[in-house]
Amino acid sequence: MESGQDFLRSQINNAVMQHRTFLQNLEDHETQAEDARYRDLCSRFIPRAREHQRMLEDYQRSIGAELGAGKKAIGTVLGVARDLADAARESDFLRLVGDIVTSRQSEDTFKTFREAGRALGDTRLAEIGEMGERHHDDYAKEANRLAQQMFVEHVRGSGGAELSTETRPSV
């Protein structure tokens, strides 16, 4: 395992690739979503996600950690695999749940950057981490509320299994 600056560069490279996947998901899902609430959620968060991506990539360049051609190729292959997985899951609900998982991964990474930046005296890393963590937490809260609403709607709706009277919660 790397240490020192090599470790930092490696982790920043990983964060850039992982967050790029999240941003691409939002951009794709904004156009693919049938549910207007989901499209709106994507539309509202895309500018923040782009800002996070820009900050990560700027920091990446500042520490000399730009991705090599091999890692970019791996990222492209992962993007194609993500697109194929999305095509197989043509449900807004399943796409949204996947976005929540990806956002939480970014949130955890940003939280690590925030705390590591503070411990190392790297204010830029700490600021990137703090902003990213806060915004991803905001996204996840909204996305989870929407996922819960969609879940209930699918169960109650014609496309979902209706709850029998025995399994409905008593009021």
Structural domains present in the chain = 4-156 (1.20.1260.10)
How far apart, in whole angstroms, are the C-alpha atoms of residue 161 and residue 126?
47
Q: Is the dihedral of CA 77, 80, 84, 89 positive or negative?
A: positive
Cβ(140)–Cβ(53) below 8 Å = no
Residue recorded with tokens 């156009």: 31
Residue of 141, 86, 138 whose CA lies nearest to 110: 138
**Whole-model pTM over 0.85:** no
Sign of CA dihedral 101, 103, 107, 113: positive
Helices 36-62 and 92-120 pack at an angle, to 10 degrees, of 30
Q: What is the pLDDT along the chain (171 residues), one digit of tens a residue?
A: 788 999 999 999 999 999 999 999 999 999 999 999 999 999 999 999 999 999 999 999 999 987 654 455 455 555 555 554 555 457 999 999 999 999 999 999 999 999 999 999 999 999 999 999 999 999 999 999 999 999 999 999 854 444 444 444 444
The string of DSSP letters for 8-51 reads HHHHHHHHHHHHHHHHHHHHHHHHH-SSHHHHHHHHHHHHHHHH
